[in-house]
């Protein structure tokens, strides 16, 4: 009696392992995209809260904000003024994707590109934004 596996048995096992690896890879990729999108939404909400606090104290919205910088009063950061956000966040896939901000005295728009889709909000950042917020919530 011979001991061992036949060629058919080995091919079946290799095929099953290959299918499991493919399904796992696709699932991992989708979960990674959803995770980055959740971080983007959280970052925009955090920035939105800081911009709203700024308006509450200064009666206008900041005209510009830059990634990696602080949001402070026009008089400057402490000790001369208030600091509303220690550091404006950057996109998880920076520099491929960046956050968008456009402000005026009476309103602003924050935008980001979600990898899992969204609506094209035409915030001035063209096709690079499919998720936008303003003073009234999601656009």
Q: What is the pLDDT of residues 50-75, one digit of tens each?
A: 999 999 999 999 999 999 999 999 88
Q: Does residue 54 sit within a domain?
A: yes
Q: How many separate domains does the chain show?
A: 1
Q: Does residue 129 sit within a domain?
A: yes
Which secondary-structure segment (H or E) carries 138?
strand 137-138
Q: Does residue 64 sit within a domain?
A: yes
Q: Does residue 126 sit within a domain?
A: yes
Q: What is the pLDDT of residues 19-45, one digit of tens each?
A: 999 988 888 999 999 999 999 999 999
Nearest to 49 by CA among 61, 35, 64, 36: 61
Q: Does residue 57 sit within a domain?
A: yes
The token pair that represents 111 in the structure block = 């935008």
Q: Give CA–CA dist 103/74, Å, rounded.
A: 14
Q: Does residue 120 sit within a domain?
A: yes
Spatial CB neighbours of 55, under 8 Å, sequence gap ≥ 6:
61, 135
Q: Does residue 67 sit within a domain?
A: yes
Q: Are 51 and 71 in contact (CB under 8 A)?
A: yes
**Which structural domain range is residue 115 located in?**
37-138
Q: What pTM value is reported for the model?
A: 0.81
Q: Does residue 88 sit within a domain?
A: yes
């Amino acid at each position: 009696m011979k001991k061992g596996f036949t060629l058919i048995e080995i091919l079946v096992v290799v095929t099953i392992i290959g299918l499991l690896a493919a399904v796992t890879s696709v699932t991992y990729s989708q979960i990674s995209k959803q995770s980055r999108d959740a971080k983007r939404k959280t970052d925009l909400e955090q920035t939105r809260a800081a911009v709203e606090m700024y308006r509450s104290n200064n009666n206008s919205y900041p005209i510009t904000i830059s990634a990696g910088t602080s949001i402070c009063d026009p008089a400057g950061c402490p000790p001369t003024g208030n600091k509303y956000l220690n550091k404006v966040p950057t996109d998880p896939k920076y520099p491929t994707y960046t956050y968008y901000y456009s402000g005026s005295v009476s309103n602003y728009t924050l935008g980001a590109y979600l990898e899992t889709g969204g609506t094209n909000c035409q915030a001035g950042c063209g096709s690079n934004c499919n998720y936008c917020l303003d003073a009234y919530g999601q656009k």
